Amino acid sequence: MLDIETHTATSAVGAGVGALRASLLDEASGLRPNDLAGCKLDTWIGRVKGIEASELPGEYARFESRNNRLAWLALQQDGMLERIQGARDRFGAHRIGIILGTSTSSIARTEEAYRELDARGQFQPEFRQSDVHNMHSPGLFVATVTGVVGPSLTVSTACSSSAKVFATADRWIRRGLIDAAVVGGVDSLCLSTLYGFNALQLISSDPCRPFDRRRNGINLGEAAAFALVTRPRPGEEAPFRLLGYGESSDAYHMSHPHPEGRGAILAMKQALHSAGLEPGDVDYINLHGTGTRANDTIETLAVASVLGNADRPAPTLVSSTKGWTGHTLGAAGMLESVITLEAMRLGVAPGTLHCEQRDESLCYPVLCGNKPHTIRIALSNSFGFGGNNATLAFGQPGD
């Protein structure tokens, strides 16, 4: 169990939680026709406005990349840097950990470097960045800008990456390695992922419509989201709390979930068990809900297997929020955790944007439009390639 003292998110719907709340309440998608420089694919994307103009301060120039610019933009929202400074003053910089998730790190910068090779086939001087061309670049960058010197880890388990950061933080804190952690996820758009998913025939040329009978693929997005988590302290209540988590790997196929949803079921059941919850305690689930035919079908099968309460007078509400932001890959776990926390704060279960003709063959009914709803207990699912699955359980004080 962890206290979530503060959180922030920057995505296609805007910078900071204020923009996120407004977008959720207005049911306003941040998706746009693909306008990423150098990409000619006919699709929609969740591009963050302002990254191109958000240059890194001179002292951090060695970290120059789209991904680190996005992290820097997000860290400046909602007082996040100031709250981390407060934690440093309280615990000491060496007693705070950094655990981030990403799937591609700064690969867009690497793509750029290869396009600009010199006459000898070598990187130009400005691209010789050992702290950028590696998967741990987000962790190195955030540690540098925050002044945190405790243990640092970057997790890369595809789309579950930044959900797993909560589990790692809990284990580190319980074992006394640290007293607090900056957890987060950062992933930015790049040609490798866009053309890679297109090669898998998973990209939709329309705004994605999870759980709609006409769904035909995903829209990729980018995001950076962070939270500051600590051990619960007697007499002090944080706004939200991580109650439990579940992790699994079904190892069924590199890119296809187990057809019976075994890994997803195991992750959800573990999350409930670790939180001391029963299925009927859950008010809302933010589904992984990518918009592909197989993933959406299998996830509802798994949800029905775990909850089994679709026929109750007040069943658990479930939806996908990727119609707002696109699929942000390694940042999705943290971004959708923040969305879930904001839904709890607002008392609104988000609908599934663009799901206008709900697929009635699915095993569990999905919420299509926003619905006022008291959410005391919520789950958030993140399921990735290679069968890497994670489910998080969140609650408010007193739960």
Q: Domain ranges in the chain?
A: 2-395
Q: Is 159 a catalytic residue?
A: yes
Q: C-alpha distances in angstroms, 232 versus 8, 78, 173?
A: 20, 22, 11
Q: How far apart are the first and last CA of the chain?
A: 11
Tell me which fold the domain 2-395 belongs to.
Peroxisomal Thiolase; Chain A, domain 1 (3.40.47)
Q: What is the pTM of this model?
A: 0.95
For the stretch 186-241, pLDDT in tens is 999 999 999 999 999 999 999 999 999 999 999 999 999 999 999 988 767 788 99
Sheet holding 44-46, edge to edge: 32-33, 44-46, 220-221
pLDDT computed for residue 257 by the predictor: 79
Model confidence at 310: pLDDT above 80: no
Q: Which of 7, 190, 258, 327 is catalytic?
A: 327
- 180 vs 177: CA distance, rounded Å: 9
pLDDT computed for residue 65 by the predictor: 97
Residue located via tokens 């579940």: 246
CB 1, CB 242: distance < 8 Å = yes
Q: Hey, which bits of 196-345 come out as E strands?
A: 220-221, 223-230, 240-249, 284-286, 317-319
- 135 vs 157: CA distance, rounded Å: 11
Bridge partners for 10 per DSSP: 15, 224
pLDDT computed for residue 386 by the predictor: 78
Q: Which of 190, 208, 258, 288 is catalytic?
A: 288
Model confidence at 352: pLDDT above 80: yes
Q: C-alpha distances in angstroms, 92 versus 3, 148, 182, 234, 285?
A: 18, 8, 13, 20, 36
Which of the pair, 250 or 266, is modelled with greater confidence? 266
